[in-house]
Amino acid sequence: MFEELKEEDFSLIQKAKDIIKANYDSQNYRHTVGCALRCADGEIYLGVNVYLAHGACAEMIAMGTAITAGKREFECIVAIGGNNSDIIYSPCGNCRQMLMDYCPECYVIINTHEGVKKTKAKNLIPFAYETPFN
């Protein structure tokens, strides 16, 4: 279920770290998570969360930006947060469903009991509701 990271995955993690470090809002906790999304063509899109109770997650912003640019195939996604921008966040339930709807085969980088690994989005939401879009 879990796979080892490749060099390009570590690079993706660094891009997520960089984007949240550049935008972290410690005063209002509005932007505390950064996300990097690698598309099938290798292009990378970034996002930071926009706070609203349970608002727009960084993953949603990154994916929405990629979709706005015409991208439809996604290869790997990672979200980073924390004061020192060094914690890999697993996607929340909403984002897991979004990933299931848009790209069940997309890899998601997460922390596991055996360290940082990646797994396909569909593995993070077993027995998921499936939309007619897939």
Specify whether 73 is catalytic: no
- When asked if residue 92 is in the footprint of Zn ion (CB under 5 A), the reply is yes
Q: Which CB sits closer to Zn ion, 13 or 60?
A: 60
**Alpha helices per DSSP H over 1-134:** 7-23, 58-68, 93-102
Would you give the distance in Å from CA 68 to the centre of its chain? 17
Give the residue carrying structure tokens 């195939």: 73
Nearest distance in Å: CB 27, Zn ion: 22
- AA identity, residue 73: E
> Does 56 help bind Zn ion (rule: CB under 5 A)?
no
Is residue 120 within a helix (H) or strand (E), and if so which, with residue range? strand 115-120
Smallest distance from Zn ion to CB 49, Å: 8
List residues with catalytic annotation.
59
Residues that bind Zn ion (CB under 5 A): 57, 92, 94-95
